[in-house]
Amino acid sequence: MIYSYFQVVYFTATFPYVVLVVLLVRGVTLPGSLNGILFFIRPKWELLLDPKVWVNAAAQNFNSIGIAFGGIITMSSYNKFNNRIIRDVLVIAVVDAITCLLAGFAIFSILGNLAENQGKDVGDVIQQGPGLVFVIYPEAFTTMPVPQLFAAVFFFMLINLGIDSQFASTEVIVTTINDHFHPQVKKYLKRKEVLVAVVCALSFLCGLPNVTQGGYYFFSLIDHYAAAVSLMYLAFFEVIAITWFYGARRLGRNIKEMNGSTPNIFFIVCWYFISPLFIFGIWLFSMISYRPFQLDGYDYPVWATVLGWFIAALSVLCVPIGMVHSIYQAKGNNLWQKLKNSIVSPLDDPNEIFHLNPYNGGPEKKENFDAI
């Protein structure tokens, strides 16, 4: 199953680059494209004083790379023990940056042409969210030869991007359930494929409101509260748990045991101080500058705002609940002893980490991996 998954991803991950390059080549040949590109690369330094810009930029990076979503951690759990993790981290960051720049140049070259055709400034024709995909891009196809063909190829690319995203999201859920409740999964569902089918079916049902008449507003509400508000909170505690409780230096020693070399001191400093401070600062700014969510001038009713916070709380509450569960399960005769033992990682022995890897030992994980 994993092998077939990677075969599919080879196509679904590379095909969008072909379409983006075609759009970029076409975009830069259109009149007014230079104005759009200059709007894209020319900085507006005064916006750095706006907290919303920092929050949106951080959310974009988190969504783009997959930070705090669990996808990278889940996929990396299938790596070999001696996989060069630092190299992978740098490759992911560089490829993501190049992809964002490629998409940015393609989009803004088309926006420049659209602005010239409408006699407006580039900033006046910019749209966010679904409007960018279903309005701006199709505008470029109308000037291409055989526009119907390019439109079909473009929307096929969107399907590939959606499949890619669902691969990662589904694998996070499936792996988490399979790791924590493997005996129950094996007893009642028998095979991992059945668990995948159940997760996909439930995800499909949960996604149905997004394709109703008001789906655009429901989708935007979820996107704002789940992917922006709660994301910084989760990322902050994830960094704190790994670098301060488990220990950045211990993590560095683990990487040396796997790769033979210790991470650069830059990574250690980022793990300990820079990353937590930046994430906490951005999260604090987002709370200080919080305003009830609006979309295209539409003010959401109070019940919708409450629903948005409820959606955000579904992931946020996992942190305090996990803390209480960890303290409850920790060894000790009183609350203080349990609290001290709950913040000490049991993974002191590198062999324990080795056995957690699905390729190298760990009978339960190894059995799960062989099964798929």
Is 84 in contact with 365 (CB distance < 8 Å)? no
Q: Is 164 annotated as a binding residue?
A: yes
Q: How far apart are CA 218 and CA 211, in angstroms?
A: 9
Among residues 136, 295, 291, the alpha carbon closest in space to that of 219 is found at 295
Q: Is 76 annotated as a binding residue?
A: no
Other beta carbons less than 10 A from residue 34's beta carbon: 15
Cβ contacts of 343 within 8 Å, gap of 6 or more: 245
Q: Which contiguous run of DSSP H or E holds residue 295?
A: strand 294-295
Among residues 174, 152, 136, 160, the alpha carbon closest in space to that of 30 is found at 136
Q: Is 195 annotated as a binding residue?
A: no
Q: How far apart are CA 186 and CA 183, in angstroms?
A: 5
Q: Which contiguous run of DSSP H or E holds residue 141?
A: helix 137-141
The tokens for 344 are 């000490």
The tokens for 199 are 């997760």
Is 255 in contact with 161 (CB distance < 8 Å)? no
Among residues 235, 241, 234, the alpha carbon closest in space to that of 342 is found at 241
Is 111 in contact with 35 (CB distance < 8 Å)? no
Q: Is 161 annotated as a binding residue?
A: yes
255: helix, strand or coil: helix
Binding site for Na(+), by residue number, is 64, 161, 164-165
Binding site, by residue number, is 64, 161, 164-165
